[in-house]
Amino acid sequence: MNSSVLNYLPQGREVEIFTHAANNKLPVLIKGPTGCGKTRFVEHMAQQLDRRVYTVSCHDDLTASDLVGRHLIGADGTYWQDGPLTRAVREGGICYLDEVVEARKDTTVVLHPLSDHRRILPIERTGELIEAHPDFMLVISYNPGYQNLMKGLKPSTRQRFVALSFEYPSPEQEVVIVCQESGLDKQTVQQLVKLGNDLRRLKDHDLEEAASTRLLIYTAMMIRSGLPAAEACRVCLAQPLSDDTETLAALEKLISGHF
């Protein structure tokens, strides 16, 4: 596990709630917009609880075998290799499934016996029935803004989890976070956070996604390294947020008003 201490600024009582869930061996669902700090929070809590994190970035092609494991062929013949979920179940640790709604629904069904009182993982291909290590914890996350009829979390899955809802930090908190992560001076960061919040007001109008705290940190890092502020905003904020020419022109105008 990484020995460097991660900085994390709580937005509310999420640290206490997560700790209670871990102590009670309960799974946790974290929902919130892109780049609001969900992954950083999980990594922070892993350090606080002294547990390893097994992170899985979910996608359309993710299979149950990717999580559980599969038979492979080696020099000495066929052997079984545990997937990240199985390793966490056997050894103890947090298995973190990031953007879980991207995974196929038939894949996430494998989580059900681990997310209730049974805390077991059946492996059909080996005939094993693994009881979860006392330090095993299942954590999943997703962006509610991406949910639709085709990509949603089944109610039968949602109701197995303690749920935490994240939003972008308040402007005051975000200034502290961006300063802390980038080393940029407070005055410039305050202006950058104001721009970020103005961009967020365009969400659902001209932009599909809001300007995330992550993007603000990237912008601040580029400014800190010597790139002109307006140019850093263009390449770290405007361009990642849209491909539409008219929208980009409007973003450029907004950036010019701040820098």
Strand partners, 51: none
pLDDT digits over 101-148, tens only?
A: 888 877 888 999 999 999 999 998 889 999 999 999 999 999 887 655
For residue 146, what pLDDT is reported?
61
Full-model pTM: 0.88
3-state class (DSSP) for residue 103: coil
Confidence of residue 151 (pLDDT cuts 50, 70, 90): low
Among residues 116, 117, 105, 113, which one has the least CA distance to residue 130? 113
Percent over 70 (pLDDT), the chain: 94
What's the pLDDT tens digit per position in 156-180? 888 899 999 999 999 999 999 999 9
Map out the domains of the chain as residue ranges: 14-165, 171-258
pLDDT value at residue 125: 86
CATH superfamily of 14-165: P-loop containing nucleotide triphosphate hydrolases (3.40.50.300)
What are the φ/ψ torsions at residue 165 (nearest 5 degrees)? -110, 125
Question: Which among 189, 176, 49, 71 is positioned nearest to 123, based on CA atoms?
Answer: 71
Average pLDDT, the chain: 90
Q: Measured in Å, how far apart are the chain's first and last C-alpha atoms?
A: 41
**Residue 61 or residue 119, greater confidence:** 119
